[in-house]
Amino acid sequence: MSRLGGLGHRLYAGEVSYDFVDRRRTWYVISAVILLVAIGALVFRGLNFGIEFRGGADFSLPKATCSVEDARAVAENATGAQVIVTETASGTVRVQTEELTPAQSSEVAGTLADACGIPKDEVKVQVVGPTWGAEISSKALQGLVIFLILVTIFLSIYFEWRMALGALVALAHDLVITVGIYALTGLEVTPATVIGLLTILGYSLYDTVVVFDKVKENTRGITGQSVMTFSEAANLAINQTLVRSINTSVVALLPVLAIIVVGAGLLGAGTLLDLAVVLAIGMAAGTYSSIFIATPFLVTLKERSPEMKALRARVLARRKAGRAPSSASTGSVDLPDGEDSESSSRTPVDPSSVGSAPRQQPRRRPRSRRK
């Protein structure tokens, strides 16, 4: 723990730094591959919607003595259609069928009770129409749109429009990856999944705002100096918040993993599993996007502005001039004109130097030494 604290201090002070921003093309390629796989899974496999969305009847048989295969055979013979049968850790057999009438549901419940050796009155029957799932989807979409509009307005006012766009790109990145994993693995999408999906939006946004707030602090008045470029100041912000992001993610993931292992694995609570899995996937994706996507994308947008281009030119020119006297004696060779020398000419910079221009005029000689 002390080593981690020491590393965090060194990262914050700029003594140790990993160049996240300059390697942004690598992160873009990695994310593009993941997104293509996720979108491909959505297009070709689709989502496995639960009974709440597609409609149907759900039969829960506690302490059933029949196997999953036996329950499936009995249910398919009774309904004349394919059914979905699962068994929880507590021994409850769950049978999902197509939409049935009340009379058909009662008949199927009695057949399953006889086959599984339990009284009919212990079979829990739930009939859900497809309109209920459509209403949930509509409300969730409305909430998502309103959330994104308010987030965009807030970030544009508190930061700037480029940071708002970077945060939205990170949010879309997290949503597509999370939904794509559900399509790829065939996990069932339930109302609890939708709740978890909306929850991870806030978590992903929080992690991104923490980094952006540090970027804003490091780049305040940055055009008034010629020591550090915008990309270097943004990269410093990522390193300064790196340990905090990791600690926050670990602390948030621990109870979620406990829900998956204990709540779903041991107790057999399917709703907890639906909620916990989407939270775990979304939190991991949110931590990744805040470090590797949001801030590098912001730098890509920001350094296209004339002010940041002029700042980069001044910084690189100053570093080249500073190396000129020593290059002849040490035998070092300057990079050719037009080559991006940012990474090769970078030197450790004190974060406190950003925003304060160095002394430019020559110092006057003392009177005693004047001729």
287-343 confidence digits (pLDDT tens):
899 999 999 999 999 999 999 999 999 999 998 887 644 433 333 333 334 344 444
Q: What angle do CA 148, 152, 156 make, to 5 degrees?
A: 170
The residue that leads in pLDDT, 214 or 11, is 214
Q: What is the CA radius of gyration of the chain?
A: 29
- 9-23, 26-40, 76-90: segment of lowest average pLDDT: 9-23
Q: Domains for the chain: give ranges and CATH numbers.
A: 2-49+132-302 (1.20.1640.10), 56-128 (3.30.70.3400)
Q: What is the mean pLDDT of residues 91-120?
A: 84
The residue that leads in pLDDT, 269 or 32, is 32
Instruction: For residue 234, name the pLDDT band (cuts at 50, 70, 90).
Output: very high
Q: Are 186 and 48 in contact (CB under 8 A)?
A: yes
264 DSSP 8-state letter: I
Amino acid identity at 241: T
Mean of pLDDT over the chain: 79
Instruction: For residue 230, name the pLDDT band (cuts at 50, 70, 90).
Output: very high
pTM of structure = 0.74
Highest mean pLDDT among 117-121, 130-134, 229-233, 324-328: 229-233
Q: Say whether pLDDT at 217 is over 60.
A: yes
Q: Say whether pLDDT at 216 is over 50.
A: yes
Instruction: For residue 14, name the pLDDT band (cuts at 50, 70, 90).
Output: low
Predicted pLDDT at 60: 86
Q: What is the mean pLDDT of residues 106-127?
A: 85
- 158-172, 224-238, 355-369: segment of lowest average pLDDT: 355-369
Q: Say whether pLDDT at 120 is over 90.
A: no
Predicted pLDDT at 128: 77
Q: Which residue has the tokens 């036996």?
A: 70
Collapsed DSSP state (helix, strand, coil) of residue 59: strand
Instruction: Report the DSSP pairing between strands 56-61 and 124-128.
Output: antiparallel
The residue that leads in pLDDT, 88 or 355, is 88
Predicted pLDDT at 48: 86
Amino acid identity at 257: L
Q: What angle do CA 284, 49, 198 make, to 5 degrees?
A: 40
The residue that leads in pLDDT, 363 or 246, is 246
5/202 Cα distance (integer angstroms): 27
350/14 Cα distance (integer angstroms): 7
Pick from 205, 212, 218: nearest CA to 352: 218
Report the chain's terminal Cα–Cα distance, integer Å: 62
Q: Say whether pLDDT at 354 is over 90.
A: no
Question: Per residue in 34-76, pLDDT tens?
Answer: 999 999 999 999 888 887 787 788 888 888 888 888 888 888 8
